[in-house]
A and B are shown apart, each in its own frame.
Chain A
């Protein structure tokens, strides 16, 4: 007992030199981060500045616009026959539903692969991974025909229902890796208490997996928000278009395009995703301060 206390004291005493080295290291770290941030953000800053300019100035002036105008934002918002408000709403609906589907269905499947024994587990795991490897361009047409026969085309169903059926193998794989990092002793303790697999999943696994679930939520939101091929193929009615699809109709290579409107709406479309990320990343911080206490 006393030895530990003694050691503790030794460790917490810092010489002046050590403190200086720590601060210096910290300064370097911050400096590096700031420089890196500027480099990372430059393209976005350019886009932001372009959104405040008249169209014929966008491509041949420097970073700072000669005149600030919000015109592109108004034009872009009303630009298409259907306002961008509708596009934002559609994107939200699809994204939120996709998150619910993904988080729930993929964690179920991942729990099975990571924690349960059953015949053919390795085989099905390989099959699951296999679905990740095929480029979507070739399953596109057969899948389209399938959904057409189900009568789901021109609705959100082909975009959302697969999420509830764990179609995103990426997340299953991700969660498997995370689940395998959680100590099995916790499962066993619960089993001793007579918990069923479901209770273990619900009471033990999920609460401890907040980081990976938050990660899955963030990624799902962003990917469905950015997805254009799915909406392109399955949505006919412009009133159902998503933001990304709407953005693409701004720029047509054969006729007049509204680049200012495009940039303005691109900036706007970043806002929800960014906010979502900011909100959920806290769950990544408040991670596993409590892992392993139940020993």
Chain B
């Protein structure tokens, strides 16, 4: 049976039917269902999203201090970003470092724990909840205090290290290590991708494993030949989403550094810098330019991911 889905113009209709349909009717039966289902999204997109997005693009070519109408300045913002802005370079460095280290580690933990939990052991719901709990703290102001209690010079982590005779520095307030405390914070909240991996694992039909067992396949083979391939859509999703989120990461740095990005801008995430420019220094036009540059980078990365995905992601369709 060849795969067909709704929308393909049905040209093999029985001849007893009514005379040839008009172009509109054909177009409608071809595209109608698709557009109908998308209707809410279209309304939202055109009504609520497109306007502000285009607005922000326009703003990136202006000098807009929020209190007065925007003033056109052409490419001045972009020029300054690429030639005369050390903070831009610094924030790029910080953000890339964060993405490169936090995303793979986070996904590894998420997948590892999800696989562990998928065995269906005793106490599974409890464990699952425990691992998800940190993610619930989200944007809480309390996190800043917690993290300081853990990673300050006299914090809990150093107390722990002292048991082994190691004298740790003040992780959170030392420019060499402060970013790592944020990476750890991000990894600590691996609950979200973990849940998604779990849902994906649960969607793999059990009878596949049974059939494989009957054929004498080992657990390891089953993992490589069944689990991983069928999980690739979810792995792909998590990888793309987590990377996008990591590029846009704002709240942890904002809360822990008090909005400063210090010490010495070592925690100056790109969106934090953007936020400072927009609301701290009344340069919304410049901030918009920064935002669009980020969008371009993230879009490039995402496009690249999608293009290369056909080499390793297995869909059932």
| Chain A residues in the interface with B (C-beta under 8 A) | 4, 7-8, 11, 26, 29-30, 32-33, 36-37, 40-44, 46-47, 50, 59, 63, 105, 108-109, 111-113, 115-119, 121, 124, 127-135, 137-139, 141-143, 146, 161-162, 164-167, 170, 172-174, 177-178, 180-185, 187-188, 191, 196-197, 200-201, 211-212, 214-215, 218-219, 222-223, 226-228, 244, 247-248, 250-251, 253, 259, 262-263, 266, 269-270, 273-274, 277-278, 281-282, 284-285, 287-289, 291-292
Query: Are A253 and B258 closer than 8 Å at their CB atoms?
Result: yes
Q: Which of B74-82, B86-94, B121-129 is the interface stretch? A: B121-129
**Counting chain A CB atoms within 10 Å of each CB, which of B138, B214, B236 scores highest?**
B138
B149 within 8 A of A: yes
Among the listed B33, B44, B198, B250, which residue makes an inter-chain contact with A116, where contact means beta carbons less than 8 Å apart? Answer: B33
B295 within 8 A of A: yes
Query: Are B237 and A174 closer than 8 Å at their CB atoms?
Result: yes
Query: Are A108 and B37 closer than 8 Å at their CB atoms?
Result: yes
Contacts of B108 in A (CB 8 A): none
**With A and B bound together, what is the CA distance between A113 and B49 in angstroms?**
19
A284-B199 contact given A118-B34, A118-B35, A197-B33, CB 8 Å threshold: yes
A133-B129 contact given A117-B5, A180-B317, CB 8 Å threshold: no
Query: Are B40 and A108 closer than 8 Å at their CB atoms?
Result: yes
Among the listed B140, B199, B295, which residue makes an inter-chain contact with A214, where contact means beta carbons less than 8 Å apart? Answer: B199
**With A and B bound together, what is the CA distance between A197 and B149 in angstroms?**
55
**With A and B bound together, what is the CA distance between A183 and B116 in angstroms?**
26
Query: Are A284 and B202 closer than 8 Å at their CB atoms?
Result: yes
B130 within 8 A of A: yes
A184-B205 contact given A43-B147, A135-B248, A177-B237, CB 8 Å threshold: no
Query: Number of B residues contacting the other chain (C-beta, 8 Å)?
Result: 105
B203 within 8 A of A: yes
Query: Are B136 and A277 closer than 8 Å at their CB atoms?
Result: yes
Q: How far is the CB of A286 from chain B (nearest CB, A)?
A: 9
A119's nearest neighbour on chain B, judged by CB, is B31
**With A and B bound together, what is the CA distance between A182 and B203 in angstroms?**
9
A272's nearest neighbour on chain B, judged by CB, is B136
Query: Are B44 and A166 closer than 8 Å at their CB atoms?
Result: yes
| Chain B residues in the interface with A (C-beta under 8 A) | 1, 3-8, 30-31, 33-35, 37-41, 43-45, 47-49, 51-53, 55-56, 59-60, 66, 113, 116, 119, 121, 124-125, 127-143, 145-147, 149-150, 156, 188, 192, 195-196, 198-200, 202-207, 213-214, 216, 230, 233-234, 236-237, 240-241, 244, 248, 250, 258, 271, 274-275, 278-279, 284, 287-288, 291-292, 294-295, 298-299, 302, 315-317
Contacts of A131 in B (CB 8 A): 45, 49, 53
Query: Are A141 and B66 closer than 8 Å at their CB atoms?
Result: yes
Among the listed A116, A139, A182, A211, which residue makes an inter-chain contact with B34, where contact means beta carbons less than 8 Å apart? Answer: A116
Contacts of B113 in A (CB 8 A): 33, 36
Query: Are A178 and B203 closer than 8 Å at their CB atoms?
Result: yes
**With A and B bound together, what is the CA distance between A161 and B48 in angstroms?**
10
Contacts of A46 in B (CB 8 A): 146, 149-150, 156
Q: How far is the CB of A293 from chain B (nearest CB, A)?
A: 9
Query: Are A117 and B7 closer than 8 Å at their CB atoms?
Result: yes
**With A and B bound together, what is the CA distance between A285 and B92 in angstroms?**
41
**With A and B bound together, what is the CA distance between A227 and B251 in angstroms?**
10
**With A and B bound together, what is the CA distance between A262 and B207 in angstroms?**
50
**With A and B bound together, what is the CA distance between A211 and B203 in angstroms?**
8
A266-B142 contact given A8-B214, A117-B6, A180-B233, CB 8 Å threshold: yes
A133-B244 contact given A41-B133, A215-B196, A266-B140, CB 8 Å threshold: yes
Contacts of B53 in A (CB 8 A): 131, 134, 139
Contacts of B196 in A (CB 8 A): 174, 215
Query: Are A33 and B125 closer than 8 Å at their CB atoms?
Result: no
Among the listed B141, B203, B230, B240, which residue makes an inter-chain contact with A287, where contact means beta carbons less than 8 Å apart? Answer: B203
Q: How far is the CB of A233 from chain B (nearest CB, A)?
A: 11
Q: How far is the CB of A259 from chain B (nearest CB, A)?
A: 7
Among the listed A166, A183, A278, which residue makes an inter-chain contact with B129, where contact means beta carbons less than 8 Å apart? Answer: A278
Contacts of A214 in B (CB 8 A): 199
B190's nearest neighbour on chain A, judged by CB, is A40
Query: Are B40 and A165 closer than 8 Å at their CB atoms?
Result: yes
Q: A178-B200, A247-B141, A273-B136 are in contact. List 4 more A-B contacts (CB 8 A).
A: A26-B121, A134-B53, A183-B316, A222-B136
Contacts of B44 in A (CB 8 A): 105, 162, 165-167
Contacts of B275 in A (CB 8 A): 137
Contacts of B233 in A (CB 8 A): 177-178, 180-181
A118-B203 contact given A40-B130, A44-B134, CB 8 Å threshold: no
Query: Are A43 and B5 closer than 8 Å at their CB atoms?
Result: no
A–B pairs, 27, beta carbons within 8 Å: A7-B214, A33-B127, A36-B113, A46-B149, A108-B38, A109-B37, A117-B7, A119-B30, A129-B302, A133-B248, A133-B295, A134-B53, A134-B294, A134-B295, A139-B52, A142-B56, A162-B44, A165-B47, A174-B196, A174-B237, A177-B234, A178-B234, A219-B192, A263-B145, A278-B129, A289-B206, A292-B207
Query: Are A116 and B140 closer than 8 Å at their CB atoms?
Result: no
